[in-house]
Chains A and B, each alone.
Chain A
């Protein structure tokens, strides 16, 4: 397996524009997570899905952020409108549940977002 695949790797956009980040989880993994990483706040969980259903979105900072998972192999994180303070590295991760115990999460390479 190629691992978790995120695109794009880098995104530079102007304030007010819509930004869409994409993620393809590892095949067979039924949990998918979106994280945001900044120097100030570290790695923050934004939202996670189980079997394509959002389970906990309490980490989504504002209504400007939305995430979808239309099928088991694809998820998007959208920011509309984007603001400079959204600049960060966004990671997608996936894992296989099953036992109820969290197993290791596999992270993608991340998308570095810069909003100017």
Chain B
């Protein structure tokens, strides 16, 4: 069955450092991958989308890579800030369909 794995353990980093979160998947060939941010008590908020034919995408301090051979995406936050502390979810989907499946998320704590 399709499976998405994100680090279940929280990631603790110091302010100013680069945070790197991992999303691995199995039994799936996604056409796109998305990253969302979720704060406690709130719904997920979209951050970035990367398609299968794209290797890397950037948006301000965020960078996403997508390796369809390794079946892995890496999500980087450079110059991290305490305000970046949240849970980050990766999500996968296929062309022509809108059935997006989500990973369980990784909690990020950025210490001042």
Do A and B come together as binding partners?
yes
User: Which residues on the A side are within 8 Å of B32 (C-beta)?
Assistant: 101-102
Give the interface size class of chain B. Answer: 20 to 34
Q: Is the CB of A105 within 8 A of B49?
A: no
Q: Does A45 contact B (CB under 8 A)?
A: yes
CB pair A42–B98 under 8 Å, yes or no, is no
Contact check: which of A50, A102, A110 meets B100 at CB < 8 Å? Answer: A102
Q: How many residues of A sit at the interface, in one of the four size bands?
A: 20 to 34
A/B interface sample: 12 pairs, CB < 8 A: A42-B102, A42-B104, A43-B102, A43-B105, A45-B101, A93-B43, A100-B95, A101-B95, A102-B34, A103-B49, A104-B49, A105-B44
Which residues of B are at the interface with A, using a C-beta cutoff of 8 A?
31-32, 34, 41-46, 49, 51, 89, 93, 95-105
